[in-house]
A and B are shown apart, each in its own frame.
Chain A
Amino acid sequence: MAIAKAERLMNLALCLLGTRRPLSKRELRESIEAYMEAGSDDSFNRMFERDKDDLRELGLVIETVENLDGEVGYLARRDSNRLPPITLDAEEAAALGLAAKVWQQARLAGAASGALQKLRAAGLPEDVDPYGSHGALEPHIPVHEAAFEPLMLACRDRRPVVFDYRKANAAQPGTRHVEPWALECWRGHWYLAGFDRDRGAERVFRLSRITGKVRARAGRYTAEVPDVVTVRETVAGWAGEIADRSALIRLRSGAGYPLRAKAVSVRELGDGWDELEIPYGHGLDALLVEFGPDVVVVEPAELRAEVIDRLRAVAKG
């Protein structure tokens, strides 16, 4: 933030916090040098409105009060802006210090350290190296998707959005009108759950498949927001982690550790091959062909056919 702006915001905050009665715009203009220097009424008004919004974004609760003459006044009451008493011991402070460092997204990283600064101002112990008591653990929350920030704000403010979305197997993106509910990060990827207005139902979107800009729309939500939003279950279903059947495969001895790790049973056949029973969920065919000639599907026939189709496509290539 430019020094001039920081100074102006600081002055406005101190004025609003320092007063016991609401101050009118005129009074504020006369008390703050930068406002006195503002040329026209228009430019002062614009500057003041922006500053007021910025302070609110920073967490300052500014009340708007109309006096008997109908003149609008502003004040930031001490009791509604004071951080309630909070005492954290050194261990708790160190744990929060670690947590505040996990964001790799600029806005959230800034916000987390802002929260920590306020807590420090209120006496949070700080002379502890946050990593000292946590050994070598370094968790990071990756945020590479451009759609993340606008969607985060839309979830926060409950604003409908429009974006172009390319389904996994679609050639062209389609426009989706969505009432965003919640964002969730699972296995390093971000997902949005919300009400899809075009489909008239709940949908989960993967942020990396959003193309172009996320645009906010005016208006309210038309569907009720559920108390509990389940993103992970939907995604786990896509990932084939929800299996209701099992499959029988032959696997060359020593090969395919990931298949062995999830096998229900393993039987040695003795001729350099093992027979495994494994959970059969969505996407198993694609996983099995990765092992090429080291895997043969025994049953079910449907899975055999899928694997053979895939192998033929590669063999032709």
Chain B
Amino acid sequence: MLSLVTYLRERPGARVGDVARAFGITEDELISDLDVLPLCGTSFRGGDLLDIDTDGDRIWWHNPDDVAEPLRIAADEATALLVAARAVSTLPGLREGDRQALLRATAKVEAASGEAAGASSRLSVTFESEGGVFADVDRAISERRRLWIRYYSPARDELSEREIDPIRLVTVGHTYVEAWCRRSEARRTFRLDRVAEIRILDEPSAPPEIELRDLSEGLVQPAAEDPEVVVEVGPGGRWVAEYYPHDSADELPDGGLRITLRTPDPASLRRLALRLGGDGRIVSPAALADSARLAAREALAAYDGPDGLGEVRDRPYEGREQGL
């Protein structure tokens, strides 16, 4: 609210709508704040009460004395803004002009924050994204052009070609492009580090009007009707719960977890079953567990052949830390 006071001091006759937008509050919230302000100030020197008027459209402040100078930035505020600004400035796909503007702004905010900027070095964020692919997607979005991509699907371990109309780029850990896929005529999200090849086409991009999803809950949001998969993991397989969005993860007595998740395509989890090795097993569906067992047997057969390693010692499986 103090910032509101200093803001109003700088802008006599400010419009209610503009002020509300600048502070990210509704006009009603602003008016109720304004109802409080005239009661603020102290009676002990007399005449200190803030004299603020509004006709519902514009706001006037009749005695903006030097009480209302802009306040310095607090340590937490400096940390939040500086860490975010530094992170964004490392985005490989950021336009050079924007990056320069952000670096200039960051330096100015650092200087203006003084000591409060110190603690911001204790937090840092690195965004990952594939520079070249990013730049092409960004350009296609701003020029409203269609893209051709060769895209890797880990579920099927294959590359496929498709044309997409890009809508926006989203960075949550990895960077993704949300697009209208012309092959499936549906909204799809593509991870940039899985784009093997990309070309900007001459055709204009024409995605249908679609409502943007709120991605704050994560990019992968399984549908209620997706089939259920149950996986039991030992202590060495607990990472599964960190990487796969799941409905439930119940503790098992041995320090493991029983994880229930949903996916439109259970066969895509064969890779997970193979990766888990002795650290876990698919409980259901049975077909998925069978296909993993079959794949493992088939793979082992290659090592028994004439140039295989028949003499490999049969040693007990040792669990080891999974990679990240």
Query: Chain A interface (Cβ within 8 Å of chain B)?
Result: 3, 6-7, 9-11, 13-15, 17-18, 27, 30-33, 57-61, 78, 80-89, 91-96, 98-100, 102-104, 107-123, 126-127, 133-142, 152, 155-156, 166-172, 181-189, 208, 231-232, 235, 238-240, 254-258, 261, 282-283, 286-287, 289-296, 301, 304-305, 308-315, 317
A83 and B73 contact, Cβ closer than 8 Å, known pairs A142-B173, A315-B297: yes
B101 touches A184 (CB 8 A): no
Which one, A58, A155, A185, contacts B125 given CB within 8 A? A185
**How many of chain B's residues touch chain A, expressed as a range?**
35 or more
Among B141, B174, B300, B315, the one with the most A-chain Cβ atoms within 10 Å of its Cβ is: B300
In the complex formed, the residue of A with least CB distance to B216 is A104
Query: Which residues in B have their C-beta under 8 angstroms from that of A184?
Result: 123-126
| A-B contacts, 25 listed (Cβ < 8 Å) | A10-B36, A11-B42, A82-B69, A83-B69, A84-B111, A117-B23, A118-B77, A122-B70, A138-B169, A140-B170, A141-B125, A156-B75, A156-B79, A168-B239, A172-B255, A183-B124, A187-B128, A188-B172, A235-B324, A292-B270, A292-B299, A304-B312, A311-B299, A312-B300, A313-B317
B255 touches A95 (CB 8 A): no
In the complex formed, the residue of B with least CB distance to A15 is B42
For residue A248, give the distance in angstroms from its CB to the closest CB of chain B.
Answer: 13
Give per-residue flags for B250-262: 1 if the beta carbon is below 8 A from chain A beta carbons, else 0: 0000111000000
Query: Which residues in A have their C-beta under 8 angstroms from that of B72?
Result: 59, 61, 80-84, 118
A313 touches B123 (CB 8 A): no
A7 touches B71 (CB 8 A): no
- Tell whether B306 is near chain A: CB-to-CB under 8 Å: no
B42 touches A289 (CB 8 A): no
A313 to B274, CA, bound (A): 9
Query: Which residues in B have their C-beta under 8 angstroms from that of A59?
Result: 71-75, 77, 116
A31 touches B299 (CB 8 A): no
B36 touches A7 (CB 8 A): yes
Query: Which residues in A have their C-beta under 8 angstroms from that of B171?
Result: 137-140
B44 touches A308 (CB 8 A): no
A232 and B312 contact, Cβ closer than 8 Å, known pairs A59-B116, A91-B101, A172-B255: no
Task: Tell me the residues in window 104-130 of chain B with beta carbons closer than 8 Å to chain A beta carbons.
Answer: 104-105, 108-109, 111-112, 114, 116, 119, 121-128
A312 touches B166 (CB 8 A): no
B296 touches A118 (CB 8 A): no
For residue B265, give the distance in angstroms from its CB to the closest CB of chain A.
Answer: 16
B138 touches A289 (CB 8 A): no
B44 touches A115 (CB 8 A): no
Query: Which residues in B have their C-beta under 8 angstroms from that of A3?
Result: 32, 36
A152 to B119, CA, bound (A): 10
B300 touches A166 (CB 8 A): no
Query: Which residues in A have their C-beta under 8 angstroms from that of B303?
Result: 296, 304, 308
B238 touches A168 (CB 8 A): yes
Among A17, A81, A135, A295, the one with the most B-chain Cβ atoms within 10 Å of its Cβ is: A135
A138 to B7, CA, bound (A): 28
A95 touches B10 (CB 8 A): no
Query: Which residues in A have their C-beta under 8 angstroms from that of B152?
Result: 257-258
Which one, B169, B236, B292, contacts A169 given CB within 8 A? B236
A152 and B196 contact, Cβ closer than 8 Å, known pairs A30-B44, A240-B323: no
B324 touches A140 (CB 8 A): no
A182 touches B121 (CB 8 A): yes
For residue A166, give the distance in angstroms from its CB to the closest CB of chain B.
Answer: 7
For residue B219, give the distance in angstroms from its CB to the closest CB of chain A.
Answer: 10
A310 touches B321 (CB 8 A): no
Query: Which residues in A have their C-beta under 8 angstroms from that of B6?
Result: 118, 121-122
Q: Which of B55-63, B83-91, B180-188 contacts A (4 or more CB under 8 A)?
A: B83-91
In the complex formed, the residue of A with least CB distance to B112 is A86
A309 and B87 contact, Cβ closer than 8 Å, known pairs A10-B2, A119-B109: no
